[in-house]
Chain A
Amino acid sequence: MLNSKSGKQFLLPIIVLFIIVLGGIFFLKPKITNIINNRKELTGDRKILADLTTKVSLLEGLSKPELAEKADLLLKVLPSEKDVARTMSVLKQVALNNELIISELTIPDVGEIASGSSVPPKSSSKNEILPSLAVKLTVLGAREKIVNFLAQVEQTAPLARVSNLDISQKNEGLDEAMIDINSYYFPLPKTLNKTEQAVVSVTTQEETVFDKLDNFSFIGENSRETATSSALPSGEKTDLFNY
């Protein structure tokens, strides 16, 4: 009798232990695992939210018309693809402005000019920072005009640099110059960054590029439109080879 009575006394602690063990296995353990995962996720989400908030405030602080104007200027200075027609047009105009006669203008290796050509050529030199269109030009004129021409070519959009020069005297006061010019371009990025990725601000050093572009001339834009509009025939063409 005593034993059964003391046995019953142990029943409550056993039940309590049973409840604790079952509760731990079926409720506490999964919930605690869930809490740990949720905390990790919360930390990650908080960081994403902070980045997005910073990005939004940065983008909202930018002026779209001002950005568009600057981007337009930079695209004229450094086009996103090989603009063969514009390069030739600009060189011809600069030569004309300096009273030089172009006896030869060649672009030896244009490559693709379709949309796929926005990829920089594989053969571009490792020393060159920018891919370029190589132009070979022969001009005739006074030496000082040739010197002016060289200066103006490097200060006229699109960005160009003289890589080689060969001047020989033809007659008194008349020189012939064979000039190799690199006309630079740089493709646009193919895709935008991911939404969560931060916008990288322009540094102060990079802003100084605009100072260097202050002296740049932009010619050929209007004249190209005029030339194009005047060259286009009205009505149907019966002769493919003549306007």
Chain B
Amino acid sequence: MSNEIDFLKGQKGASSAKTNFFRSLKVGSIVILLTYFLFIAAVFSYWFFLGKQLSDISQQIVTQKNKVNNLKEVESLQVVLKQKLSILNKFFLSQKGQSFNNLLSYISQISAQIKIKDLKMGKDKINLSGSSPSIPILEKFLQELKNDKSLTLFSQITLSSLDRQEDGNYFFNLILEVKK
């Protein structure tokens, strides 16, 4: 029976730890390098994929632009239509108040027995000069001007003058403010 005494036991322990460390370092480096290469490959693949997508979409854009160019005439007509309709719509919406012929026909209607000598119509005001053969007819005319229909057309009615003339007729001036 022989007993062995290992005088290098401590040293062997220290060197095996160091060996393990270097082995781990070597393996780790290789793993890191391989992972890095995989990452580069992924980046490159994604870059290539994006480039292809861009190229496809650019091609599709060119195709669509050509189609739009072929439809230029239709587009011009649509643009003209839109422009005219839009501005006409604004115009018609801005037309407030009564038209001249509506006001004129109303005045003609209620002044059947009155002689209208002069009628000046602007956007906001009507100056009316006329003569009536008698006061009751004039009174009736002025009453008509105070009816419901007149109230919807005019905001103010002013009898600015009234003269009895030599021939017995009554000459008058009226100012009618048109409602907006």
A→B interface (CB under 8 Å): 6, 9-10, 12-13, 15-16, 19-20, 23, 27-28, 31-32, 34-35, 38-39, 41-42, 45-46, 48-49, 52-53, 55-56, 59-60, 62, 64, 67-68, 70-71, 74-75, 77-78, 129-130, 143-144, 146-148, 150-151, 154, 159, 161-169, 184, 186, 188-189, 192-193, 195-196, 199-202, 205-209, 212
Contacts and interface: CB of A to CB of B under 8 A. Distances in A.
A59 B75 contact: yes
Given A78-B88, A166-B121, A200-B82, A49 B54 contact: no
B159 interface: no
Contact of A49 (B60, B85, B89, B119): B60
Contacts of A161: 95
Contacts, number: 201
A87 B32 CA distance: 87
A62 B57 contact: no
Give the bracket for the number of chain B residues in contact with chain A. 35 or more
21 contacts: A9-B22, A12-B25, A12-B26, A16-B33, A28-B43, A34-B47, A38-B54, A42-B53, A46-B57, A49-B60, A62-B74, A75-B84, A129-B94, A165-B104, A169-B117, A186-B87, A189-B83, A192-B75, A192-B76, A200-B82, A206-B86
Nearest to B123: A163
A195 B86 contact: no
Nearest to A13: B29
Interface of B: 18, 22, 25-26, 28-30, 32-33, 36, 40, 43-44, 46-47, 50-51, 53-54, 57-58, 60-61, 64-65, 67-69, 71-92, 94-95, 99-101, 104-105, 108, 115-123
A60 B71 contact: yes
A62 B54 contact: no
Contacts of B47: 31, 34-35, 38
A151 B80 CA distance: 28
